[in-house]
């Protein structure tokens, strides 16, 4: 990057790079080639409230907006939300469009994303941009994931302990109230994994979750979790969990396209994101207890094999470690 570029231009260059990494082709509005790709990001596309920094098109249909911001405005991205929301609901020139559902504000370093199909749309930080085919899949569905969470029915409590019932009910209430994260604390021996398998089953069955990551810090915990998934029979179905859903314990860099639950150590996930093979010995011990961590962990860069939308939920076991 040359030093004589304006901060706005630097932000746009970084956004261009991230868009291309996520499978978009970036084009200028006056040299548009629609056949270049399924996902096209058009710069400076005109709307009736002025030019939008980027309009995202999938299969020639406008689906989203990116509002570019200088880096020093990064702390104010939540303020920018109103502005990009205005673009998203405006009419694009030459297109009789509905309001656009997917809205980003980005400095190229920091990016926030809002899905306007949600019951109470709110922005959240994302590591990168979503892929064009993800938007295509999302738009085929009648509801966003957050909307589907509202459909989860009341818990059938047979076979569950009081503490498990309380944990699942509180977790699902938290999801329905749009919280992005939740913490479940349960005593040792109270069936934490069984509780997790129960709510994972409910997310897959009732909320239309696509894939869930179960993250552990030792290979042993991963094996135990896998055993629990295999042994689990839900109380509203007489088939085993693994007859209903595909569970994969990751042993290489390959994530099967049809797996609905992936069990992985944090060490293995890190190696997958880095695109490196992993020595299995590093999975034997919890990284916080061994000298496994380098002083300064290497930054994780975007890996198109594991895009940010790869998992709908991440369950972190023993997260206090």
Distance between CA atoms of 236 and 293, rounded to whole angstroms? 43
Q: Are strands 102-106 and 111-115 parallel, antiparallel or unpaired?
A: antiparallel
Q: Is 180 exposed, middle or buried (0-12, 13-18, 19+ CB in 10 A)?
A: exposed
pLDDT of residue 120: 87
pLDDT of residue 29: 87
Distance between CA atoms of 253 and 194, rounded to whole angstroms? 27
Tally Cβ neighbours within 10 Å of residue 114: 21
Distance between CA atoms of 70 and 76, rounded to whole angstroms? 10
pLDDT of residue 291: 58
For the chain, domains (ranges, CATH) are 7-140 (3.90.1570.30), 145-316 (3.40.50)
Phi and psi (nearest 5°) for 22? Answer: -90, 15
Tokens of 66: 């990116």
> What's the whole-model pTM score?
0.88
* Percentage of the residues of the chain whose pLDDT score is greater than 70: 88
- Mind listing the pLDDT tens digit for each residue in 87-109? 566 666 656 667 789 999 999 99
In this prediction, the residues of the chain whose per-residue pLDDT falls under 50 are none
Distance between CA atoms of 114 and 116, rounded to whole angstroms? 6
Q: Which of 85, 191, 79 is nearest to 199 (CA)?
A: 191
pLDDT of residue 230: 97
Q: Which residues contact 130 (CB under 8 A, 6 or more apart)?
A: 22, 102, 113, 307, 308, 309
Q: Are 159 and 235 in contact (CB under 8 A)?
A: yes
């Amino acid at each position: 990057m040359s030093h004589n570029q304006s901060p706005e231009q630097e932000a746009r260059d970084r956004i261009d790079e991230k868009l291309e990494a996520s499978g978009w082709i970036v084009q200028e509005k006056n040299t548009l080639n629609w056949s270049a790709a399924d996902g096209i990001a058009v710069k400076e596309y005109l709307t009736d409230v002025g030019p939008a920094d980027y309009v995202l098109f999938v299969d020639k249909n406008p689906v989203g907006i990116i509002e570019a911001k200088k880096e020093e405005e990064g702390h104010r991205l939540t303020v920018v939300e109103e502005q990009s929301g205005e673009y998203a609901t405006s009419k694009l020139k030459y297109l009789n469009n509905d309001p656009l559902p997917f809205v980003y504000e980005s400095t190229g370093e920091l990016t926030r994303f809002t899905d306007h199909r949600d019951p109470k749309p709110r922005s959240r930080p994302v590591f990168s941009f979503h892929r064009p085919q993800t938007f295509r899949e999302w738009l085929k569905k009648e509801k966003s994931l957050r909307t589907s969470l509202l459909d989860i029915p009341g818990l059938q409590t047979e076979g569950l302990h009081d503490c498990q019932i309380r944990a699942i009910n509180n977790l699902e209430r938290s999801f329905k109230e749009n919280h992005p994260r939740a913490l479940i604390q349960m005593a040792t021996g109270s069936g934490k994994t069984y509780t997790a398998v129960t709510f994972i089953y409910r997310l897959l069955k009732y909320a239309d979750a696509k894939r869930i990551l179960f993250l552990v810090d030792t290979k042993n915990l991963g094996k135990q979790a896998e055993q629990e998934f295999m042994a689990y029979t839900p109380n509203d179905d007489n088939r085993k969990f693994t007859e209903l859903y595909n569970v994969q314990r990751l042993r290489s860099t390959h994530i099967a396209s049809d797996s609905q639950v992936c069990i992985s150590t944090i060490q293995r996930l890190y190696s997958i994101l880095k695109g490196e093979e992993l020595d299995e010995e590093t999975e034997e011990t919890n990284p916080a207890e061994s000298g496994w961590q380098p002083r300064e962990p290497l930054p994780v860069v975007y890996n198109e094999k594991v895009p940010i939308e790869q998992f709908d939920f991440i369950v972190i076991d023993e997260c206090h470690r």
